[in-house]
């Protein structure tokens, strides 16, 4: 591809053996549409194979390539170099997370906090259907709208890196975990509202937020964690004033009607344990 210009990447690299940062500069040829991630891959393949950074999907889906680009948390794979409109681009590892090497950070504290808010549907009627589901729970389009924007989160931790409270209080749940708590509370299938409100109702939870909104500003998916935190506070107050009664999740859709003579087709039994064998069978059946 045709080189349009040369750009310098100034990379703030964490050197674990020395316990300090070092800044290295690399000049790279840039083509139209080239992303910051492609620039990093160019450096690794041509200039310095020791450079460490994370990437996987390269299409703003997995959320692993987040770094600080020119002072702002961004996805390296979703940021075009020419759009930055600068001959020198500074790159740093995400803030508020333990450093590993160069641009790589350890996301464990971020995911631990997400785990604390129980990021899954909670039902009080746990029975056979809960563990071995055969049907869906009812949900209207309006009910989906209540949580849809919050379900777009790809757990990239950009909001966490942008949050000043996460930077000063390591126990603060952070914008993503709090937003995700609201995402499940707003889901009409869920019955875990009181469990989650107990978890978030603290100075390390929804009351620790300073409402600066940098989390929402940083989100590459247009999720608004600052809004979700305000809605969480509203729920806590409703609960404390006694307005929030027991929440009953939606019921299952009706079973399909029995049609005389219709042949029932069982879903394929497909387990992780048998996945390799099953994939081999499919390959042999259809592609040989
Ligand atoms: S609005 Fe709250 S959660 Fe978002 S960045 Fe500011 S302090 Fe953090
Ligand atoms: S809310 Fe946005 S910025 Fe935060 S983890 Fe999810 S996708 Fe990333
Ligand atoms: S590599 Fe997956 S989001 Fe960037």
Which positions ≥6 away from 28 have C-beta within 8 Å? 6, 7, 8, 9, 39, 42, 43, 47
Q: Which ligand has the nearest atom to the CA of 172?
A: 1
Distance 148 CA to ligand 2 centre (A): 14
Distance CA 181, CA 183 (A): 5
Cα dihedral 129, 131, 135, 137 in deg (nearest 10): 90
Look up the pTM and report it: 0.88
Answer whether CATH 2.40.30.10 is correct for domain 3-105.
no
Nearest CA to ligand 2 atom 8: 156
Domain(s) labelled CATH 3.10.20.30 in the chain stretch across: 3-105
SS3 44: helix
- 61 ligand 3 Cβ < 6 A: yes
Fold of domain 108-240: Fumarate Reductase Iron-sulfur Protein; Chain B, domain 2 (1.10.1060)
Distance 60 CA to ligand 3 centre (A): 5
Distance CA 123, CA 287 (A): 43
Average pLDDT over residues 268-278: 70
pLDDT tens, residue by residue, 100-115: 999 999 999 999 999 9
Domain(s) labelled CATH 1.10.1060.10 in the chain stretch across: 108-240
Distance 227 CA to ligand 1 centre (A): 10
Q: Give the model's confidence band at 3: pLDDT under 50 very low, under 70 low, under 90 confident, else very high.
A: very high
Give residue 262's pLDDT.
73
- 154 ligand 2 Cβ < 6 A: yes
- % the chain with pLDDT above 90: 78
- 63 ligand 3 Cβ < 6 A: yes
């Amino acid at each position: 591809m045709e080189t349009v210009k040369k750009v310098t990447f100034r990379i703030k690299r964490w050197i674990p053996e020395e316990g300090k940062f070092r800044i290295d500069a690399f000049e790279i040829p840039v083509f139209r549409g080239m992303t910051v991630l492609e620039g990093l891959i160019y450096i690794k393949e041509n200039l310095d194979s020791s450079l460490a950074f994370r990437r996987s999907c390269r299409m703003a889906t997995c959320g692993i390539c987040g770094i600080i680009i020119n002072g702002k948390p961004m996805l390296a794979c979703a940021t075009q170099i020419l759009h930055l409109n600068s001959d020198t681009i500074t790159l740093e590892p995400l803030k508020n997370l333990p450093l590993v090497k160069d641009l790589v950070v350890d996301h464990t504290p971020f995911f631990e906090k997400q785990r604390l808010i129980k990021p899954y549907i909670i039902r009080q009627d746990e029975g056979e259907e809960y563990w071995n589901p055969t049907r869906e729970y009812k949900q209207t389009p309006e009910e989906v709208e209540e949580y849809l924007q919050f379900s777009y989160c790809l757990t990239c931790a950009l909001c966490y890196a942008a949050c000043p409270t996460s930077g000063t209080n390591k126990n603060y749940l952070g914008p993503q975990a709090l937003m995700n708590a609201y995402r499940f509370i707003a889901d009409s299938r869920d019955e875990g509202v009181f469990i989650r409100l107990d978890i978030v109702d603290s100075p390390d939870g929804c009351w620790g937020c300073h409402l600066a909104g940098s989390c929402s500003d940083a989100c590459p998916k247009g999720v608004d964690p600052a809004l979700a935190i305000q809605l969480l506070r509203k729920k806590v107050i409703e609960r404390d004033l006694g307005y929030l009664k027991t929440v009953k999740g939606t019921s299952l859709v009706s079973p399909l009607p029995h049609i005389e003579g219709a042949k029932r087709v069982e879903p394929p039994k497909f387990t992780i344990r048998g996945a390799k064998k099953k994939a081999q069978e499919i390959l042999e059946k259809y592609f040989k």
